[in-house]
Structure 1
Amino acid sequence: MASIQLHGVIDATIFEVDKLPGGWWMSFLKVLYSYKLKEIFGYKASARLYATIHLDNAKVAATRRLEFDKDSPPQWQQSFHIYSAHLATQVIISFKVTGFQTTQVIGRAYMQAEELLSGKPVDKWLEILDEKHHKPLSGAPKIHVELRFSRATAHPNWSQGIKTPDFPGVPYTFFTQRNGCRATLYQDAHVLDEFVPKIPFPPGYKPHRCWEDVFDAVSNAKHLIYIAGWTVYTEITLIRDPRRPKPGGGITLGELLEKKANEGVRVLILIWEDKTTVEHISGKNGYSLSRDEQILPGYKSPLHHQKIVVVDSEIPNGESSSKKRRIVSFIGGIDLSDGRYDNQSHSLFRTLNTVHRNDFYQNGFSDASILKGGPREPWHDIHCRLEGAIAWDVLTNFEQRWRKQGGGEDLLVHLSEHGDIFIPPSPVLSPEDSETWNIQLFRSIDEGAVDYSWPNEFHHNVFFNLDLVNGKDHAIERSIQDAYINAIRRAKNFIYIENQYFLGSSFGWNTQGHNLGKVGAWNLIPKELSLKIVSKIEAGERFTVYVVIPMFPEGIPDALPVQPILFWQMMTMDMMYRDIARAIKAKGLKVEPKDYLTFLCVGNREIKKSGEYEPPEKPKDGTDYSRAQKSRRYMIYVHSKMMIVDDEYIIVGSANINQRSMDGARDTEIAMGAYQPHHLATTQPARGLIHGQRLALWYEHLGIFDDTFLKPESIQCVRKVNEIAKKNWSLYIQEKLDDLPGHLLSYPIEVLHDGQVTILPGSEFFPDTRAPVLGAKTDLLPSVITT
């Protein structure tokens, strides 16, 4: 059977099964329901029938689960909009029964993948076969399906970017695109006054300071402060720059929130990891905290990972006496917690007696302490502030989550009852304003974490129209992955990514002799990127993807779960580079795979200066901690979750590029996708605030500006970046100690001409550790934890 690259969209409908088959399972269920044992034993004795769609081994859709009826076969009549990037031989429809704490495959039906290539609907009654022997089931039941495949390259938006200012956004999502908004983009929690990049910034660009803006927003709230995060640590201070003091800026976050609660502001907090310091004020004066406990002791799965602040705010440019209020929201990667405060210098040692004296954070050593000194773990992140109707969508998300997981409806501020105060969702900028934004909200979430408040007469077409998928008796929303896929497919010239993790598309991995079993890292993003590059190579066009990730995931680098995550990451990189290398070879080009796709990380190294903090203790000799302290180096932890496409479209949020964040039924995530309609890359390169954000980030990482950076898709640019990063890596690992001229480092892997990812000579282990760069597979942790 031929393997077919099904890169595009499969519109599928599973209608019904024509009859229930024989066999012991069906006989058992018929007896069970005939004697009404279900009524006796309740839900535990119930059985439900459903169907799934697989492309070879990768599950891509599942129907809702229908109660077993001994007199009537199931009729789902359910449609799906399936993004695919799989190399598959077959489409497999599985007929299943779940109940009694088990799930059984009744049978499977098969269709050859090549049947879909015509692009026309394929409407068939398929025989349901025995899973083991592939023979018709007793009674010869059939399942009615319709499938239609549309190639990604045939879509009118393929490689066209955002063609017009009225681009409607990503289809089939819970939240529609909002126009006339404003977005403020942040790099890191703080920006020093002396960070003045010598680059050609677009008009209107200026650096913004995230935690200063959050402090102002919370301080000025009159009615509500809603916070959601993976963690909230109330002992931190948001204002630390001595050259930028603010009235009341010396108090902690907890003191600020308690002060606002005492003023009558409703303060609601949803967190996953409890830092305990919130509890002394929880429940006071409208202050309420809700948190979830860990599911597995010692491991974090699943997580409530959204990072949100929602407040009421004054009307900009309004009268000072006006009581009118609006909603302003913050989302992104930065939790209000310890270790997050940092600026573009990302110092390891030089701030331990100033802004990090009471906020020493280092998660890479088991015994790290301010008493033993640096290096601290620098933190690089991306965040944003949203104004306009989009801010109300973030509010809606919080309210839905609070109703499900928080303190119920009563604690929420019902804005409809304050119509004389709150202006309704409306544009904050006119369509003619050159600084206006169009913004859309995306999520990874399911009904276990959010109250959708469906109407009683809920119809399955709502699932299709919102691109919701079925989990175990609940809806799953994964529009963040859909947004990434749409943006990658639209991309014309280049993509720049910063993300805490990078793994996925396990259906395309080269197993290299490993028994990967059911890894289940199905998200399409890595494969979408490599297929985009391949299409550009085949078309004779330039295209470059830059990916900045941490040197290694946070934690002890030679231990669990870091090593298996690194292994999955290596498998992902290897898959992508092999795709690219095959395309290069087929075209006979004299280029390298890294001319199209480059992985980078960031790190710092500092010489000792006079007046530096002197710790009273020292780390134990022979440890990673001791070696890093002596070599005066450490990675800068990349916690960003951002993608920039052609300098005209940006995604910022809390979602990592891994299965946990993109699945929808695992970690809860939030993100926004945005563009400025007056700054599109239609006839000339985009030069709006997204372009300014990328240049500022590159200046932070590289420490220089070069004219080639204005055309990041060019081979001159990618080779320039790779050259600088390679030189910085050499300086980072050499014995001679000196300050690095820039933070950007080549990711320490070797990419062979055939795309194989292997050990970089001299860099089998991360500096100052015995942790293998390529990671190691383990069976000690389930892949649901590490993917």
Structure 2
Amino acid sequence: MHKINARYFPSGGPTRIEEDNSAIIPLVDGEEYFNAVRMEIGRAQSPGDAIYMLGWRFEADFRFNKSSNDPSELGTVLASKAATGVDVRIIMPTKWQLLDWLQKETEKELRDRNNNDLNNLLNWFGPKGNILHTDLLRKKTIGRDSPLSSRILLDYSGELFGTHHQKMVLILRGGAAVGFVAGIDFLADRLDSRRHDEKLPRPYSTNQKDTIKYYWHDAGARVEGPVVKSLFYFFNARWSYCLTLSDRAFKFKDGQTIPSLNPRVEMTSPRGKAQSTPLSSTTPLKGVYLAANFPERDVKGSNPAFHEPHGMFARPSIHTTGELYKKAIGSARKYIYIEDQYFSAQSMEGVLLEAARRSVKIIAVIGGFSDDEGKSVDPRLSSPFLKSLGNDKVAVMQVKDTIVHSKLMIIDDEFVAIGSANFTDRSFIEAEDKGGGADSAMRDFLRDVKQAWSTDSELTVAAVDDRRNDLNVAMRLRILLWAEHLRVSAEDQVIWRQLSDLEVGLSIFNKSWGRPVSFDHGNSRLLHVEIV
């Protein structure tokens, strides 16, 4: 094994480290990501091809781009592919406990509680969330047929206050496979460009009556080579496990009925093996690794609060996202750069503390607008732990007017991780619910809950690249991200060279960390966050 792979990647787990045969191509923001996915979906055209998708949320009428030349919607595109014999399958989560609650109280009665977390749960998993869009996808017609009717599964397994949060697209065409791993969802407000130059509020692509009062920053990666086989492994495991779940029916207090969560299910196994996993023009990287997080417990039974051992895998636990982050942070020598919705993983405090003691610069970029609360974020962060590290060791920044939804980490221009795992314990380890999260809003309904878990399932792809040139994947991504937030062009060679030099580029986060950049960045959207 290459020494650099042994430094950054954990050993063990259900997937292997792929050396000198796989690659990732980072994709920044919705416009770039969705265009890449749309192009690959378009290449799946005949029986024997397949399109497999895992996601937290999908909108049936999602548009891949804003161009009037391509008005196709997600549901129409996938139904058309299925009608030609392409094996199309989607898995998205729901909360059966929330649906059970709606049998006792109406949605209006729940919303009248003015609980923001509860409203979010209803938006995500209630009758107008994944339930609605699953139904719309299943009913999408091509001619007289509904080719997706048995190919959209609602997965209600997992822990009480956790969710299935994995986001993946896997495409098999002509025996060759390519994958995408991301933090981004197929929702209209995610469709934003790297320029973020539309005047706020900006228009919805699917609903011209509504507007969006924030920019959306996100990331994903195209995955190539034998590492794609690990995506097949996890998708097959999820689909097969869903087939073991008992069906559920609901009659809501307001009269609406759901006769079955999964009325028709494709019982055949997904096409589990690709004949080849070719690279495009990309050079294979020293190492690529797919990490995952899965709950150890399940509430699939009749008691909405009873956890039993999760039976998806024959191994005791899979928490390689946390193992990956912990080992990578422990290997940092110069800097750790994290972009995320959150920066609250207590399980990472020990390795971050040790990194700070090694004089590693720790940078966290979070949103200036909250996805959960729908408003601007206070430019102060209460974190006794971060405050204890000292301002000379850590810099926390907000991106003004922007929801930062990317879940990525770059270390020392050698390591990059991109995926669905947030920088929270529920994405890294078997997490016990302490209250305060959106899912915990159900505690009002489940008053007998004494102890519950909140582990999310996740997928994150990581790569190492020790090339000392502009082709380095980690360095290129870092420069593109920093230029985007500074509102400058990475195509300008002066800007590129200064940001590539860490003795200069790091100064944008802390003036004492390097020589100042010479280029103007007066339009920067980066704002310093006070740690209190």
SS at the partner of 1:495?
Answer: strand
- Unmatched 5+ stretches in structure 2: 94-124, 140-145, 245-264, 299-309, 432-454, 489-494, 513-520
Match of 1:487, as an amino acid?
A: A
Equivalent residue, structure 2, for 1:328: 178
Partner of 1:189: helix, strand, or coil?
helix
- Residue equivalent to 1:535: 358
**How many angstroms apart in 2 are the aligned matches of 1:493 and 1:487?**
12
CA distance in 2, matches of 1:446, 1:403: 16
TM-aligned CA deviation for residue 662 of structure 1: 1.5
Give 1:695's aligned residue: 479
Q: CA deviation at 1:189?
A: 1.1
Could you list the per-position Cα deviations for residues 316-338 of structure 1 after superposition, in whole angstroms to 9, with x for gaps in the alignment?
xxxxxxxx421211111111122
Q: CA deviation at 1:351?
A: 7.7
Q: How does 1:106-145 map to 2 (within 5 A)?
A: none
Is 1:744 aligned to residue 526 of structure 2?
A: yes
Q: How far apart, CA to CA, are the structure 1 residues paired with 2:421 and 2:337?
A: 16
Select 2:499's aligned residue among 709, 720, 731. Answer: 709
1:251 pairs, out of 62, 65, 72, with: 72
Higher relative contact order (CA 8 A, sep 6+): 2
Whether the aligned pair in 1 keeps the contact of 2:8 and 2:328 (CA below 8 Å) is: no
Residues 275 and 711 from structure 1, CA distance in 2 versus in 1: closer, same or farther, beyond 3 angstroms?
farther
Shift of 1:229: 0.8
Match for residue 10 of structure 2? Answer: 170
Secondary structure, counterpart of 2:14 in structure 1: coil
Larger Rg: 1
Instruction: Count residues with an aligned counterpart.
Output: 418
* Equivalent residue letter for 1:444: N
Change (3 A) 1:644 1:338: same
* Deviation for aligned residue 1:720: 3.4
Shift of 1:429: 8.0
- Report whether the alignment pairs 1:220 with 2:43: yes
Cα separation, 1, equivalents of 2:328 and 2:161: 28
Q: 2:419 aligns with which of 647, 653, 659?
A: 653
Q: Indicate how the Cα distance of structure 1 residues 386 and 334 shifts in structure 2: closer, same or farther if over 3 A, else same.
A: same
Residues 678-700 of structure 1, C-alpha deviation per residue, up to 9 Å, x if partnerless? Answer: x34xxx68851221111011110
Partners of 2:427 and 2:192 lie apart in 1 by 25
Could you tell me which residue of structure 2 aligns to residue 599 of structure 1? 396
Distance of 1:437 and 1:409 partners within structure 2: 39
What is the CA-CA distance between 1:428 and the residue it aligns to? 3.8
Q: CA deviation at 1:282?
A: 1.7
2:373 match: 556
Distance 1:528 1:343, change over 3 A: same
Matched, 1:291 2:80: no
Alignment partner for residue 294 of structure 2, among 438, 445, 454?
445
Corresponding position: 1:570 with 2:422: no
- Which amino acid counterpart does residue 206 of structure 2 have in structure 1? N
For the residues of structure 2 that align with 1:337 and 1:295, how far apart are their CA atoms? 23
1:25 corresponds to: none
Deviation sequence 1:436-458 (CA, Å, 0-9, x none) = 4521111110355776553xxxx
Cα drift, residue 225 of structure 1: 1.3
Match of 1:233 among 59, 78, 81: 59
Structure with greater strand share of residues: 1
Contact 1:501 1:553 in 2 (8 A): no
Cα deviation digits, residues 474-523 of structure 1 (max 9, x gap): x3311101101111111121111101111132xxxxxxxxxxxxxxxxx2
Q: Which amino acid in 1 is paired with 2:526?
A: L
2:342 matches 1:501? yes
Residue 428 (structure 2) aligns with: 662
In the alignment, does 2:226 pair up with 1:389?
yes
Q: CA deviation at 1:533?
A: 1.2
Offset at residue 224 of structure 1 (A): 1.5
Which of 542, 545, 550 pairs up with 2:362?
Answer: 545
Cα drift, residue 342 of structure 1 = 0.4
Mark the CA change 1:451 to 1:328 in structure 2 (over 3 Å): closer, same or farther. Answer: farther
1:499, 1:240 → 2: CA distance?
A: 26
Residues 24, 221 of structure 2: 8 Å contact kept: yes
1:400 to 237, 240, 244: 237
Q: Given the alignment of the two structures, is residue 270 of structure 1 paired with residue 118 of structure 2, yes or no?
A: no
**One-letter code aligned to 1:709:** L
Please say if residues 290 and 406 of structure 1, whose CA atoms lie closer than 8 Å, have aligned partners that are also in contact: no
Unpaired runs of at least 5, structure 1: 1-156, 191-208, 314-323, 361-368, 417-421, 455-462, 464-474, 506-522, 537-542, 581-592, 604-634, 725-738, 750-756, 759-787
Task: Tell me which amino acid in the other structure corresponds to 1:230.
Answer: W
- For residue 345 of structure 1, report the CA deviation from its aligned partner: 2.6
Q: In 2 relative to 1, CA 706–210 (structure 1 residues): closer, same or farther, beyond 3 Å?
A: closer
Query: Root-mean-square deviation (CA), in Å?
Result: 3.4
